[in-house]
Structure formats: C-alpha cells, structure tokens
Homo-oligomer: A and B are copies of this chain.
Amino acid sequence: MKWTSVDLGNCSVLRALGVIGKPWAIAVLREVFNDVRRFEDFQQHLGVSRSVLSRRLNELVDDGLLDRTPYREDGGRERYEYRPTEKAWGLYPVMVGLMQWGDRYLADGDGPPVHLVDRRTGRPVITALVTDDSDVCAPSDIAMLPGPSLRTLPDGG
C-alpha cells in the first residue's frame, strides 16, 4: 500500500479535527471530563461570556458530545446540566495524550500541573498504542493527583 496514492478525502484524522479541533471544544471537554456540569461553573472556570459559552455548549450538544438534562434546585427555576456522552468519552484518551505530550515538551520547569494514576494500583496512567486485547483503564479507574506546578485560584473557584 503506497501512502502517497491514498486519496485523503475521507481521512478520519481530519474529520475528527473538524469536530473537535478547536481549542475551546477541547477546553469544554476537559471541564466535563473533570465533572464540571453546570453553566455557572463552566463560566467561572473558563472565564468566557455567557453568550459565548452558551453558543459553544449548544454546538457540542449538536455534535453529540454533550447531553443536556434539566435540573431544579429547591425553589429555583429549571436549569440544565451538561454531561459528556459516550462519543465524548471516546476522546478522553486523545485528551490525555495531548496532556502528556504537553507535560513532556511544554510544561513549566517545575513539572506538570496534574498526574493521572490508576486507582486500583497507584501506577501512572498513560495514553499509548497497544493491541486491542490489552488491559485498559476506564475513566472511572483514573484519579487525578496534584502535580508540582498546580496552582489554585485565589477564591477557591
């Protein structure tokens, strides 16, 4: 199979980037993978305007990456929570791979902000190429621990 004879018109890599190649899409997915669910929490943590955030969340719902479900707190009006779909979780290894690479080549001198470990064994978790019969970690197996360059926000978020 000669690579330069391959028609790139249906390349899955570029199709994937067409959906999630925008930094803001990755930033929102990073939040939902870390259990952020509510509009106000996204807004405060990402520091974007309500209108921009609203548009971005809607776009990710339309792309099938977020599920929007209503909730209501005591006496309050109905609001919405955003949860990652199975399709979104399919990108979690890609995001961890980007993080690892950034940790290795672009982190500050004192090291990465966070580490991922397997809750069952305490071993570091990595994104890697493996055969499909390998023992893979589910997202629920993975814990995030503070790394040397973690900084927290002054008001505690």
Contact = CB atoms under 8 A, between A and B. Distances in A.
A136 B129 contact: yes
Contacts of A16: 98-99, 101-102, 105-106
Interface residues of A, number: 86
A93 B128 contact: yes
Interface stretch (A7-15, A53-61, A67-75, A76-84): A7-15
Contacts of A100: 12, 90
Interface of A: 1-19, 21-23, 26-27, 30-31, 34-36, 41, 44-46, 64, 87, 90-108, 112-114, 118, 121, 123-137, 139, 142, 144-146, 149-153, 156-157
